[in-house]
Chains A and B, each alone.
Chain A
Amino acid sequence: MPLFVVTPLAATFLIMIVGRFVKDFNKYYTSLTLLFLVIISFSCLFNIGENVDVYKVGGWQPINKIPIGIYMVMDGFSAIVVCIINLIGFLVAIYSISYIKRYTSENYFYALFCLMIAGMNGVVLSGDLFNIFVFLEISVISAYSLVAFGVEKNELEASFKYQVLGSIASFLILFGIGFIYWKTKTLNIADIREAFKTGYDKSFYLFVQLLILSGFGLKAAIMPFHAWLPDAHSSAPSPISAMLSGVFIKAVGIYVIIRLFFNMFVITESMAILITTLGTLSMVIGVFLAIGQWDIKRLLAYHSISQMGYVMLSIGIGMILISRGVKQEVAALAIAGGIFHLINHAAFKGLLFLNAGAIEYTIGTRNLKEMGGLAKSMPATSATSFVASMSISGIPPFNGFFSKLIIIVAAITAKFYLLAALAVIVSIITLASFLKFQRYAFYDKSDEDKRPEAKEVPYPMIFSMIVLSIVCLLLSLLAVPVVRDAVLTPAINILMDPLKYSSQIIGL
């Protein structure tokens, strides 16, 4: 398990040193590293099952059942997220081989990219609160610099905005960690859970939860904290936008929120309602902001906010039901829908940003009004972006349909009819805005004569896009009960039964 952090971290330094002397070392080494990580992450996913795997950094054994070392924990849920990170990371690395030629200093790009992967893997696998913060900062600092990679006016401005808000988020998180340490005198998530179980001060508890939620909510761009996301995601180089939007906001934002609120805090109803409300707000407002955009990457970035709203919404419904202690199977269904949508969003939003990058690579603009008629000259891009657009708007048989269906069914059976209706309406508006994207980018014939120079992008880029679109189709299989039991159910069980998580880790 430590390989997930060590390999990309080693790659960072190797690229900086060896890449200086050996030409093309950086791109192939990055791809190889990530291919290796993809293989071991999938083998972990299929082997982990219901178990919880603990690695104690430095071999510090617990004394009297009190954990003193830093724990790294792999369970069903983190295995899924690690798989997403490394799979999307691998495809993006392949894509970058051609794309990043436009920029100078490729070494820095690949080094920062590996650093970001290392940080995200660390966040997801960490079982220690402060360790989460450290890995979060590693990945966030490399994300800041990757956003500013173009060093033009827009990139720098976006990066500055992101850094200011990101730093404030980090301080809030640090304050929250400090308060938790003050009360519980431990930093291990499972151990904190044991301390909270025995009783807690109501107002203190609420304060800490709000600090943690707003800190990680800022990193995940939940609605009132979303201001940095469209700028940062549209200014970054396209492969990095795919990483940031497809994986980054989930790994350091949503994943940590879910993990801490289910496995560390005792779920309270007021917090659950707050999370549901925030999710609904970002789902609705995100899509309305998206529909008026003419810059493709900004449009996609606003849709990220909206789709993250879906995940938060269904997780919140699950939390409400758990805190009320009723209809546990519906709660499980809602959480399944949330996790499923999280996986799907990584696949199709990553693909959409890669498509946007391919369009920008070929015709050099991101403005939808200046495009049109690209369907003939770029068949692969057009076909894959069609798959992704249909997935995100929830058209069967693509994956987005099934996860949205599960979320809506869970909302209806839990008697949240308003939320279910809103989810359907937002899905229709999403479809409308992606039809606009398809029409203006690929099918509008008026401009066709003007673009004899438009031609298909190089093969590595096509390869990544096609693999991702196949992944989009294959993920529909997760709705099949047999596959769902193998992949999603362990993750749901670990979230639904927090005592299992903490007792297994403390017991080891």
Chain B
Amino acid sequence: MIAYILCFILFLVGLYGAVTQRNLVKIAISLSVMEFSTFLFFALLGYIDGGVAPIVNPAEPARIYVDPLPQALVLTAIVIGLATTALLMAVIIRLYRKYGTFDIREMKNLRG
């Protein structure tokens, strides 16, 4: 249970960073923190105390296996997260070239 609570706190830390930070790169890092708390949550979902990796060997007696599906989901989600982060960083670099700063307060062309 404590692991779930820590995972949720990690999510809130990321959310706090994304809301309060003014530096574009720090916002991107906060988003990554949120992302990884979600992945951690998925990994926890599949974990069973004392379970082993689900490689079934017919010769051995039946054992407790961890749930493999969340692991597959996390792998997919990590790949997606990589694409999102890469694109976000590319946009941040372009923004830096246009404005010469990472400060989000300087970028306010779009209002209203």
Q: Which residues of A contact B (CB under 8 A)?
A: 130, 133-134, 137, 141, 144-145, 148, 151-154, 156-161, 163-164, 167-168, 170-171, 174-175, 178, 181-182, 187, 230-231, 235, 292-293, 298
B45 CB contacts on chain A under 8 angstroms: 178, 181-182
From the candidates B41, B83, B87, B91, name the one contacting A178 in the complex (CB within 8 A).
B41
Of the candidates B38, B83, B95, B112, the one whose C-beta lies within 8 Å of that of A171 is B38
Q: List 15 A-B contacts (CB under 8 A).
A: A137-B83, A151-B94, A153-B109, A157-B95, A160-B92, A164-B18, A167-B84, A168-B31, A171-B34, A175-B38, A175-B41, A178-B70, A181-B45, A181-B70, A292-B112
With contacts A144-B87, A160-B95 known, is A167 near B31, CB below 8 A? yes
- In the complex, whether B73 has a CB less than 8 A from a CB of chain A is yes
Say yes or no: is B29 at the interface (Cβ < 8 Å to chain A): no
Which residues does chain A contribute within 8 Å of B66, judged by CB atoms? Answer: none
A133-B77, A157-B107 provided; 17 other pairs, C-beta below 8 A?
A: A130-B73, A130-B76, A137-B80, A137-B83, A144-B87, A145-B87, A152-B98, A153-B107, A156-B94, A157-B110, A163-B87, A163-B91, A167-B84, A171-B35, A181-B45, A181-B69, A235-B110
In the complex formed, the residue of A with least CB distance to B36 is: A171
Chain A nearest CB, measured from B89 CB (Å): 10
Q: Taking A156-B91, A156-B95, A157-B110 as contacts, is the C-beta distance between A168 and B84 under 8 angstroms?
A: no
Give the interface SS of chain A, mostly helix, strand, loop or mixed. helix
CB–CB B31/A164 < 8 A: yes
Shortest B31–chain A CB gap in Å is 5
> Nearest chain-A residue to B94 (Cβ)?
A156
| Cβ distance B23 to chain A, nearest Cβ, rounded Å | 12
A159 to B112 Cα, complex, angstroms: 16
- A165 (CB) vs chain B CBs: closest residue: B18
Residues of B16-70 at the interface with A, using a CB-CB cut-off of 8 Å, are 18, 24, 27, 31, 34-35, 38, 41-42, 45, 69-70
Report which of A134, A158, A160, A292 forms a contact with B24, defined as CB distance below 8 A: A160
| A161→B83 CA distance, assembly (Å) | 17
On whether A153 and B91 interact (CB within 8 A), knowing A137-B84, A168-B18, the answer reads: no
Name the contact of B27 in the complex, choosing from A156, A164, A175, A187 (C-beta under 8 A): A164
Asked whether, in the complex, the Cβ of B87 is within 8 Å of the Cβ of A154, the reply is no
Contact of A154 with B77 in the complex, beta carbons under 8 Å? no
Asked whether B88 lies within 8 Å of A163 as measured between CB atoms, the reply is yes
Give the interface residue-count category, chain B.
Answer: 20 to 34
By Cβ-Cβ distance, the 10 closest A-B pairs, closest first, are A137-B80, A231-B110, A174-B38, A156-B95, A171-B38, A167-B31, A157-B107, A154-B109, A171-B34, A153-B98
Shortest CB–CB separation between residue B8 and chain A, in angstroms?
A: 9
| A153, A164, A293: the one within 8 Å of B99 (CB) | A153
A156-B95, A168-B34 known; A134+B80 contact, CB < 8 A: yes
- State in angstroms the CA–CA spacing of A72 and B80 once bound together: 21
Q: Which residue of A lies closest to B110 (CB)?
A: A231
Residues of chain A with a CB closer than 8 A to B24's CB: 160
Which residues of A have CB within 8 Å of B69? 181, 187
Q: Whose C-beta in chain B lies nearest to the C-beta of A68?
A: B69
Task: Please measure, in the bound complex, the distance between the C-alpha atom of A134 and the C-alpha atom of B74, giving whole angstroms.
Answer: 11
Q: Decide if A174 touches B110 in the complex (CB within 8 Å).
A: no
Q: Which residue of A lies closest to B96 (CB)?
A: A156
With a CB–CB cut-off of 8 A, which chain A residues contact B88?
160, 163-164, 167
Residues of chain B within 8 A (CB-CB) of A137 are 80, 83-84
Q: Do A141 and B87 touch (CB < 8 A)?
A: yes
Task: Tell me whether A141 and B83 are in contact (CB under 8 A).
Answer: yes
A497 to B87, CA, bound (A): 42
Determine which of B27, B41, B91, B99 lies in contact with A159 in the assembled complex, contact meaning CB atoms within 8 Å: B91
B84, A154: Cβ atoms under 8 Å? Answer: no
Determine how close the nearest CB of chain A comes to the CB of B111; give it in whole angstroms.
9
Question: Across the two chains, which residue of chain B brings its CB closest to A174?
Answer: B38
Q: Is the CB of B38 within 8 A of A178?
A: yes
Q: Is the CB of B84 within 8 A of A141?
A: yes
Closest to A293 in B: B112
Q: What residues of A have a CB within 8 angstroms of the CB of B18 in the complex?
A: 164, 168
Closest CB-CB distance, B41 to chain A, in whole Å? 5
For B110, give its contact among A158, A163, A170, A178 (CB under 8 Å): A158
B16 → A minimal CB distance (Å):
12
Contacts of A292 in B (CB 8 A): 112
Chain B contacts for A293, CB-based, 8 A: 112
How many angstroms from the CA of A141 to the CA of B77 in the assembled complex?
13
**CB-based contact A156/B98 at 8 Å:** yes
Compute how far the CA of A362 lies from the CA of B77 in the bound complex, rounded to whole angstroms.
43
- B42 with A167: CB separation less than 8 A: no
Give the nearest-CB partner of B28 in chain A: A164
In angstroms, Cα B110 to Cα A249, docked, is 21
Q: List B contacts of A298 (CB < 8 A).
A: 112
Q: Please name all residues of chain A whose beta carbon is closer than 8 Å to the beta carbon of B87 when the two chains form the complex.
A: 141, 144-145, 163
- Across the interface, A148 reaches (CB within 8 A) one of B31, B84, B91, namely B91
CA A137 to CA B101, docked complex, whole Å = 29
B107 vs chain A, min Cβ distance (A): 5
Q: What residues of chain A lie closer than 8 Å to B110, measured between beta carbons?
A: 154, 157-158, 161, 230-231, 235
Collect the chain B residues with CB atoms within 8 Å of residue A156's CB. 91, 94-95, 98
B22 CB, min distance to chain A CBs, angstroms: 13
In the complex, what distance in Å separates the CA atom of A230 from the CA atom of B110? 9
